[in-house]
Structure 1
């Protein structure tokens, strides 16, 4: 169901267009049901297929004939008739229907997957033509970022972007969960770590640096570890991710990546709360560089185990792969890349002195 609903956000424009022409097409198809010249037969076949495919996509996305009818702004019986005609034309059953549920058959799932690229091209064509017609970049951008990176890095850059592109409206969503571009209708997402999703374009903004940090008061009272194995005897502070799992501490030892699950004195699901606990001397934690760089420079925090810091992650700006990006996405990505790279977020290149007590 999640995959089926993914297409819904992409076909909203397409389906809305159909709301204006659907009834005419359907009635047209019925009026031309009598066999005629070859051209009329082809036209009749296209109209029947067009109305049927739109109804099919709506039902597949919504999982219900009634909800699909509401989505299209037509009657449930009209949706059912269009799909019946399409199934007769294809000589294939597309849905398994019971009194309680509607699901795709194996053939229906294959047909759905084959329809998706065509609908995407129609949506992209509509977006491109609209932007060409309207001139300068404009429209609405829906942006996703993790709370820490969004507040600290992205939000401060939105003012300068809006000043340069006042016709683009912005919506910034902060969430620890990874964004689903389709379901959440996201245009641009900022992600941390290592990118393995081949369906998106991921452009690195800055390397992702992780620092094992403590306050000067903690360092004076308990010292700081000189080796990774010494962390087990410290008051560690852990992070719980969006899936409810404790995030492992990451290191590089002898050139190889290592992960450690350490016992914790405190656990938080918010990086800002972790940082506050560290600043208050409650324990030691591994935190991202963008969050602690200024505090390290101002000596409000100290860091250790720099020789074992991981170096294979990054902070990325991500968007769906398209041959021709809408102008509003293109100018936003370019603006963020330029201004983020101008920020002093690379702590490893700063004159920070690790203190190991």
Structure 2
């Protein structure tokens, strides 16, 4: 029979976090008629098991109370209720010592390992929250932005945080954070999902573009209505919908449904078709900045460019973010903002049909 005394504790003590409200409220907990036995008695069982293990570890009810931050009598009541639930006497108590019964020894051997695993799991979660960045980071991004902007940053990020593994998913559909187990997502445009945290990294600039070859052959539209006389390159979303071009006229949004002979579901293919002189398309600044600099592309209807979109980094909650997510958010936000992806701000829209450097 194991004797529970202060200088004869079982094995190595384990820090067992015990919510005090559960212990105190469980004093009056009792299964009600017609309720599930497990759920009805959980609070009492949990408090009792925690108190029981604390008594075994500390060697007495008084020291167990000190460890748990409650009175000796509260520990005694929790253990008593546990014994009543089990219909078993767990301790033999005298004024001089507290000893485990044979049944108490068996119960301790069966339950303390489970509690230790719970404590280990809690410590692991604390390490993820407060320790060095590590673990798997699952990232979602649209195909174009992910390929052009996000993917090139990953090598530097991995060199800085080698214990973080990266899983990058490129998909133009809005991913489901829970179903797809996404930690961080990059989204473009306007965010209307109130269930997520969306931090704008940079504004999303949109511009109607054509190649120098196309301009030489067809000219550029001077008004939105002139677009019906031009060949347009269409982008098709994953849901099958064709991307509507949007302009800003006298402060109001005006949409235009492009018509053309070429449609792609890949933003890079749309860009290539425009570069090859097959037509015009409205594209994001991150796609076209380099080509504007070289003169391969020119911009039309600059004065009507929309200005209410953004590139966002999204996640589910600000609370309890693991360090791997926090360092990634900070890293990519800093790096993306240092890129010249808002290059359209360097052009003056007062000089149509193309934008000239200020």
TM-score by length of 2: 0.64
Distance of aligned partners of 1:138 and 1:323 in 2 relative to their CA distance in 1, 3 Å threshold: same
CA distance in 1, matches of 2:348, 2:292: 7
Q: CA deviation at 1:128?
A: 3.5
SS in structure 2 at match of 1:321? coil
Structure 1 residue 222 and structure 2 residue 212: aligned? Answer: no
Q: CA deviation at 1:348?
A: 2.1
Q: CA deviation at 1:47?
A: 7.3
CA distance in 2, matches of 1:140, 1:50: 37
SS in structure 2 at match of 1:317? strand
Cα pair 1:296 1:352 within 8 Å, conserved: no
Structure 1 residue 206 and structure 2 residue 175: aligned? Answer: no
CA distance in 2, matches of 1:227, 1:126: 63
- Per-residue CA deviations over 1:44-95 (Å, capped at 9, x if unaligned) read x89712999xxxxxxxxxxxxxxxxxxxxxxxxxxxxxxxxxxxxxxxxxxx
Q: CA deviation at 1:266?
A: 1.1
SS in structure 1 at match of 2:148? helix
Where does structure 1 lack aligned partners over 5 or more consecutive residues?
Answer: 1-37, 53-123
Map of 2:125 onto structure 1? 128
* Equivalenced residues, count: 247
Mapping 1:161-240, distance limit 5 Å:
161-240=157-236
Map of 2:38 onto structure 1? 48
CA distance in 1, matches of 2:306, 2:124: 41
Match of 2:312 among 309, 313, 316: 316
CA distance in 2, matches of 1:51, 1:303: 70
Match of 2:275 among 264, 272, 279: 279
SS in structure 2 at match of 1:206? strand
Q: CA deviation at 1:308?
A: 0.3
Structure 1 residue 303 and structure 2 residue 293: aligned? Answer: no
Distance of aligned partners of 1:352 and 1:301 in 2 relative to their CA distance in 1, 3 Å threshold: farther
Q: CA deviation at 1:127?
A: 6.4
Mapping 1:131-142, distance limit 5 Å:
131=128, 135-142=131-138
Cα pair 1:265 1:283 within 8 Å, conserved: no
CA distance in 1, matches of 2:284, 2:216: 23
TM-score by length of 1: 0.64
Where does structure 2 lack aligned partners over 5 or more consecutive residues?
Answer: 1-26, 43-120
Map of 1:248 onto structure 2? 244
Cα pair 2:129 2:321 within 8 Å, conserved: no
SS in structure 2 at match of 1:176? coil
Q: CA deviation at 1:173?
A: 0.5
CA distance in 1, matches of 2:318, 2:40: 25
Larger Rg: 2
- Per-residue CA deviations over 1:83-125 (Å, capped at 9, x if unaligned) read xxxxxxxxxxxxxxxxxxxxxxxxxxxxxxxxxxxxxxxxx96
CA distance in 2, matches of 1:351, 1:337: 24
CA distance in 2, matches of 1:51, 1:300: 73
Cα pair 2:303 2:352 within 8 Å, conserved: no
CA distance in 2, matches of 1:309, 1:50: 62
